[in-house]
Amino acid sequence: MTHAPLPIPVAAALEAANAGAIEDFLHAFADDGAVDDWGREFRGHDAIRAWSDAEFIGKQVRLDVTGCRTEGDTTTVSAQVGGNGYNGPSDFAFTVRGDRVALMRITG
């Protein structure tokens, strides 16, 4: 996996998560965007906020990107996750639609 430049919406979502900026994180997503956390789907800004408050930004997540690859409209980011929740390596597959994230799928 390479460490190529990230699409702007993906970079914005990662930057917002690392800054603890929930409003900026939500702004990176389309209005009908979703997070798929190991099969649990959270669709729309309200659902994403509730998930993030409990399991992501609310846990002071820190994502240190170790690699990425883009295939079509999906960019998979590998990161070392830190914070007060899960800690360890994980993959995040971001599907971009226009200038927003349509789906962030946590895959590994």
| Six token digits for residue 96 | 């971009």
What is the pTM (predicted TM-score) of this model?
Answer: 0.94
Answer whether 51's CB lies under 8 Å from 39's CB: no
d(CA 50, CA 34): 12
**Sheet of 74-82, strand order:** 40-43, 29-37, 100-106, 88-97, 74-82, 62-71
Q: What is the pLDDT of residues 8-22, one digit of tens each?
A: 999 999 999 999 999
d(C-alpha 2, C-alpha 68), whole Å: 5
* pLDDT tens readout for residues 31-50: 999 999 999 999 999 999 99
